[in-house]
Amino acid sequence: MLEREVLLVLGAAGGVGVSAVQIGKVCGAVVIAVARGPEKLQYLQSIGADHVIDSSKDNIIESAKFFLKARGLKGVDVLYDPVGGKLTQDSLKLLKWGAHILVIGFASGDVPIIRANVALVKAHLAFAALRDRKAVGKVMIVMDASVKSRL
């Protein structure tokens, strides 16, 4: 993540989602957090999410587009997805050209299907570069000195 990039975190109130929100904020990203219920949304705001969306009652696409337009932003740079299913499909509409998709789980029970035209033209899939099968499921976070100082 680079400063001012837009990070969309699905399932943001779960353990990995909260971590993604926090890492995004430390990196200087604009964070849009999606979760269910007012208590979870309030918590996400308290840890720095710039915009929160209640997936149980809000139209995620409309809410995110309104926020992005109000901030003068063109779209989402990174989609962090532990949910899968329809939510993933809908969220792809928000991606900028060259965006990154990190599919890290399938909490909805549905493995997301990402059409080839999206993956080849619009976004980079995080697992596409894995060559060594031993690396699957392992993450290394590298931060420069300016980011480390904010931890």
Fold for 6-148, please state it: Rossmann fold (3.40.50)
> What is d(CA 65, CA 151) in angstroms, rounded to the nearest whole number?
30
pLDDT digits (tens, 9 = 90+) for 69-106: 999 999 999 999 888 778 888 888 899 988 888 888 66
pTM for the structure as a whole: 0.77
Half-sphere exposure (Cβ direction) of 91: Cα atoms closer than 13 Å? 33
> What is d(CA 75, CA 53) in angstroms, rounded to the nearest whole number?
16
pLDDT digits (tens, 9 = 90+) for 133-147: 554 454 444 555 555
> What is d(CA 130, CA 150) in angstroms, rounded to the nearest whole number?
30
